[in-house]
Structure 1
């Protein structure tokens, strides 16, 4: 399915649960880089504080650079010596446990001790020739959400009358709302839906999260390629 060389670093607001991309983690030429989004004001107004390992607001043109994966992210990867390590990798859909970015993308790097989450970066003009996986958002806020199970087929549709987010994209199961595409992918997937690009979607697994309900993972790929 190809290499993942850039991840989005997402922060969740404690009270409302809204999630916002606050930074990027990338790897290339044997080094790792982290930088913050240009505009952190919205997240900071909601309570975000600079990460201790990255105390200065460095942007893409002047990132933090390291030879090894930064500790903040490395410690989110289970040690291979853990008794349940192989089981966890299988549950996350990771076929190469030594690929740190694949592990972080598939697991989300989620811990009970902070509000951070990691997700694969995709450009807004990505053609989805390589499948994209994401954790369904917003199910708990939907009254009578469509039931979902692993292997269920799903589709996507826009929800322009959504007062909270007119760009919202619904995950649909047989005409019923089952959840939402997470905001970091709404521009990409909403654009593909708007242009009528045929997409195939399926629930591929359930990801168990610390101190939270399980999150169902959907895989989307363009069926025109």
Structure 2
């Protein structure tokens, strides 16, 4: 878990085949002296074929620190002065006063012009549950999925379906409606958490947290929440690939 005064997100990269893996971690530390951003690459970055570093952060073996958000992440934030900013944060189920770091996390840093995105560390709730928010992925790759998402209502329970035959990622997890209509996938970087919880026989519930209208981009169509009891002694995202390269 993150210490008090520290918030964390992970940077991920999508290779040409479509597989998305974590490559680095960004932390925001806040104290009476101000704030500091710290970025470090993870072991997975060295093992991910074709990955050579994020723009502006070329040294995989360095720890980068700055009082300002690094440009590769700052450029993923829509400026508040834009007239459509309010509509944008509403699609994220946030409001205009939400701080930029949270907006970056919720939006997943998605841009059509590159392969970089971000995701949050699972949250531990006050009643010891593991909670994750994520947007449904890959809607356009499933026949009928776009239309099916329009029938989903806030609060609907969605079913998880493992997909070992997936050629890009054999650990992929599909999401289906209660009527068995496949509507998309859990983001690649979160499927390990689902598999680990499953190995501990933990009951996982996924519900529709926020449903955007048909006018919203497909990658922002359906915001989901995963909720499960937090197993004793369990810490997510701590495997070998999540270890930092630099001490």
SS of equivalent to 2:129: coil
Shift of residue 108 of structure 1?
A: 1.9
Task: Identify the residue that residue 244 of structure 2 maps to in structure 1.
Answer: none
Aligned partner of 2:234 in structure 1 is: none
Task: Give the length in aligned residue pairs.
Answer: 212
Q: Take 1:38 and 1:81, find their aligned partners in 2: how far apart are those partners?
A: 38
Distance 1:164 1:83, change over 3 A: closer
Mapped to 1, the partners of 2:6 and 2:172 lie a distance apart of: 25
For structure 1, the residue ranges without an aligned partner over 5 or more in a row are none
Query: What is the TM-score normalised by the length of structure 1?
Result: 0.77
Which of 137, 153, 157 aligns to 2:157? It is 153
| Deviation for aligned residue 1:31 | 1.0
Cα displacement string for residues 148-183 of structure 1 (whole angstroms, at most 9, x for unaligned residues): 235243122333454553422221212333222111
Aligned to 2:187: 182
Q: TM-score when scaled to structure 2?
A: 0.71
Report the counterpart of residue 58 of structure 2 in structure 1.
55
Q: String of CA shifts for 1:102-125, please: whole Å, max 9, x gaps.
A: 1001112222332211111238xx
| Mapping 1:1-225, distance limit 5 Å | 5-13=7-15, 15-29=16-30, 30-43=35-48, 45-46=49-50, 48-58=51-61, 63-95=63-95, 97-122=97-122, 129=129, 131-145=131-145, 147-148=148-149, 149-151=152-154, 152-162=156-166, 164-174=168-178, 175-194=180-199, 195-206=201-212, 208-209=216-217, 214-222=220-228
Aligned to 2:243: none
Shift of 1:184: 0.9
Deviates more, 1:163-172 or 1:23-32: 163-172
What is the CA RMSD across the aligned residues, in angstroms?
3.1
> Structure 1 residues 189, 104: CA separation in 2 closer, same or farther (over 3 Å shift)?
same
Query: Residues 53 and 178 of structure 1: is their aligned pair in 2 closer, same or farther, counting only changes over 3 Å?
Result: same
Whole-Å Cα distance in 2 between the matches of residues 201 and 147 of structure 1? 15
**Higher relative contact order by CA 8 Å / sep ≥ 6: 1 or 2?**
2
**1:4 CA drift (Å):** 8.2
| Alignment CA distance shift 1:54-1:128 (3 Å) | farther
- For structure 2, which runs of at least 5 residues remain unmatched after alignment? 231-247
